[in-house]
Amino acid sequence: MKQVFTIWIFLFATAVTSFSQTEAEKIRQLEIQRQAERQRAMSMKLDSAVALMNQGEYQLSDEKFLTILKSVKSVPSDITFYFGKNSYFLGKYKQSVDWLNKYIQLKGTSGQFSKETLSLKQKAEVELLKEKDLESKQATQVFAQDYDIDCGPSGKVTCPVCNGSTVIIKKGYISNTYKTCSYCQLKGVLSCEDYNKLLKGELKPSSN
């Protein structure tokens, strides 16, 4: 009787084990299936983004790519190429160079799109340089000190160094020291020419 009981326990244990094994297998299969579905959905999205790009709908394509990028944890190498290419067409050259570089990092020079990537990257870099050149030219224009300030009909401006007092007061610890302003020659005013020189740092103080 005792032996029969032991056998029964053994059979029961075996059944439980095999049951949980098939369950685990089922879950694993489901996970694989789910992954495949995600993969399929993403490659469909990718296809439509690429199609939009090929039709010249760069803005729409860009939006599609961005939704893909938001939804993936790790970006497939093909996307780095396509997104970099579309960015080039959008005139986002910095972004373009960045993603095309990524593709080369991932695939080297022997990838499916490596050749196109390198030539696009070169073009984007040329555009980027042009932009930088333009930016620096604009920056010089904004900060150019070649403009003279119009001092108005009097042609004179209150000396900004001494505020017209002709005296410079240096506050000391015990007493103040007073010095004659060395820019306006005791007049308290500057001619417009001198004023503009002063603004540019070109007006030399007179020694007195």
Under rule CB under 5 A, residue 181 binds Zn ion = yes
- Which residue from 162, 194, 195, 203 is in contact with Zn ion, where contact means CB under 5 A? 162
Nearest distance in Å: CB 154, Zn ion: 16
Nearest distance in Å: CB 166, Zn ion: 5
Under rule CB under 5 A, residue 157 binds Zn ion = no
Mapped onto helix, strand or coil, the DSSP state of residue 30 is helix
Q: State how far the Cα of 145 lies from the Cα of 140, in Å rounded to an integer.
A: 9
Q: State how far the Cα of 55 lies from the Cα of 149, in Å rounded to an integer.
A: 54
Q: State how far the Cα of 93 lies from the Cα of 120, in Å rounded to an integer.
A: 10
Q: Choose the binding region for Zn ion from 91-99, 139-147, 159-167, 170-178 (rule: CB under 5 A).
A: 159-167
Tokens (6 digits) for 97: 């160079």
Q: Which amino acid is at 3?
A: Q
Nearest distance in Å: CB 162, Zn ion: 3
Cβ within 8 Å of residue 204, ≥6 positions away: none
- Which residue from 60, 75, 151, 161 is in contact with Zn ion, where contact means CB under 5 A? 161
Q: Which amino acid is at 41?
A: A
Nearest distance in Å: CB 198, Zn ion: 10
Under rule CB under 5 A, residue 198 binds Zn ion = no
Q: Based on CB atoms, which residue is closest to Zn ion, 58 or 183?
A: 183
Under rule CB under 5 A, residue 128 binds Zn ion = no
Q: State how far the Cα of 165 lies from the Cα of 60, in Å rounded to an integer.
A: 66
- Provide the b/e sequence for 90-116 (b: ≥16 CB within 10 Å): eebbebbbbbbebbbeebeeebebbee
H helix or E strand, kind and range, residue 191: strand 189-191
Q: Choose the binding region for Zn ion from 20-28, 59-67, 75-83, 176-184 (rule: CB under 5 A).
A: 176-184
Q: Choose the binding region for Zn ion from 21-29, 74-82, 86-94, 154-162 (rule: CB under 5 A).
A: 154-162
Nearest distance in Å: CB 92, Zn ion: 53
Nearest distance in Å: CB 160, Zn ion: 8
Under the rule (CB under 5 A), what is the footprint of Zn ion?
159, 161-162, 181, 183-184
